[in-house]
Structure 1
């Protein structure tokens, strides 16, 4: 079963508003601080990017739908900090800070630019790809995590069971479905697959529109 965050292709949520080209990077000052705190906490090395994404997905449906984008970030981060013993609930509530063995791993200001520039590469050595560009493939259905019920996955629900065409191969990358849950990186070949929008939605915006998804090999099988 999917979680409330899997919203792609739904009716009724309105148009996506593009960011103004000459507008501020952050709409509010605290948004920048939310990003900074998230980066600083991630540098402690207690969880992966995939784990942090799943923490946001696991927010209660009521909170997920009413929180803004960066409120989701902060709520997910707070849950991760407590669950991993980085801080206590009392500290989060404003209590006195407790000594931490992780203090030596703090991210000082003079290292931030370098950390951001290096990104989070996920390319790894792994098995040879099963599919070639031009291959017709079908996505897994249902779209959920095959290892953990209700777990993290990068296969969107709207693409479950759909037939598309491989157009690019990207080498082997960390499998989010495993890495988000502490099962190791389990790298797999990663592909870009293109779908006809009419095969995903009964009423696409325009005839001939296409949707591309970056999908791991375990999400795919040959289309019959």
Structure 2
């Protein structure tokens, strides 16, 4: 079962119109504040990036469709703060207490922001799972595109690429598996590959059949294409 966010290649949504290089990064002042708040809350260490992505996916379909980009971020963050016990619904409504918060010592300070952002959040990890595919090898994605560990859970395999045949371009190493990490099941690192798919494998009538789409996919998303 796919969620409303998984809309790649869907008909009826109109063309994708890239913004110009001169476009304003934050058209509205609160957009930058929403990004800063999300990063600062994540720094408290109560969830990981895959949990936060799944929180946005779980927004009501009606809300997801009508919310702007940063409205999705703020709404999902509010859900996470309550779900993870960082704040209460009363806190969000301005009805909480002014008592010192247990996580106050972990607050991201202004002076630490540059270092935190430059460090990033690497997801490469050692793994004892053997590499199964080599560059140039033909593979096929599993079908349907779904989390095999958690029913209705998070996955990074888009539905438009489910069951498609492609070829391995390169191995990225071993990385945290989002399908596991988003649900508190451990990082479960496994091999991650760049896989190239012909446009004709993904869509019945592509504008340019010789185009390719390159996706980064985990080994458990793939099977050999015999």
Task: Give TM-score scaled by structure 1 length.
Answer: 0.98
Which deviates more, 85-94 or 32-41? 85-94
* Greater mean alpha carbon deviation, residues 180-189 or residues 95-104: 95-104
For residue 94 of structure 1, report the CA deviation from its aligned partner: 1.7
Structure 2: how far apart are the matches of 1:62 and 1:24? Answer: 28
Deviations 1:140-185 (A, max 9, x none): 1010100001100000000001110000110000000000000110
Question: Any residues of structure 2 matched to 1:1-224 within 5 Å, and which?
Answer: 1-96=1-96, 97-126=98-127, 127-224=129-226
Residues 107-140 of structure 1 show CA distances to partners (whole Å, capped at 9, x for unaligned) of 0011111111111100111133110001100101
Q: CA deviation at 1:98?
A: 4.3
Between the two proteins, the alignment pairs up a number of residues equal to 224
Q: Distance in 2 between matches of 1:47 and 1:129?
A: 29
Partner Cα distance (1:169, 1:220) in 2: 13
Structure 1 residue 13, shift from structure 2 partner: 1.1
Greater shift, 90-99 or 104-113, is seen at 90-99
**3-state DSSP of counterpart to 2:136:** coil
Task: Please give the secondary structure, in 1, of the residue aligned with 2:187.
Answer: coil
User: How much does 1:20 deviate?
Assistant: 1.9
TM-fit CA distance, 1:207: 2.1
Give the deviation of 1:23 after TM superposition: 2.3
Equivalent-residue separation in structure 1 for 2:170 and 2:26 (angstroms): 33
Following the alignment from structure 2 to structure 1, what is the Cα–Cα distance between the partners of residues 154 and 39? 20
The range that moved more, 16-25 or 69-78, is 16-25
In the alignment, the residues of structure 2 paired with residue 189 and residue 159 of structure 1 have an alpha-carbon distance, to the nearest angstrom, of 19
Helix, strand or coil at the partner of 1:9: coil
Structure 1 unmatched ranges of 5 or more: none
CA RMSD across the alignment: 0.9
| Displacement over 6 Å in runs of 4+ | none
Distance 2:193 2:164 in 1: 15
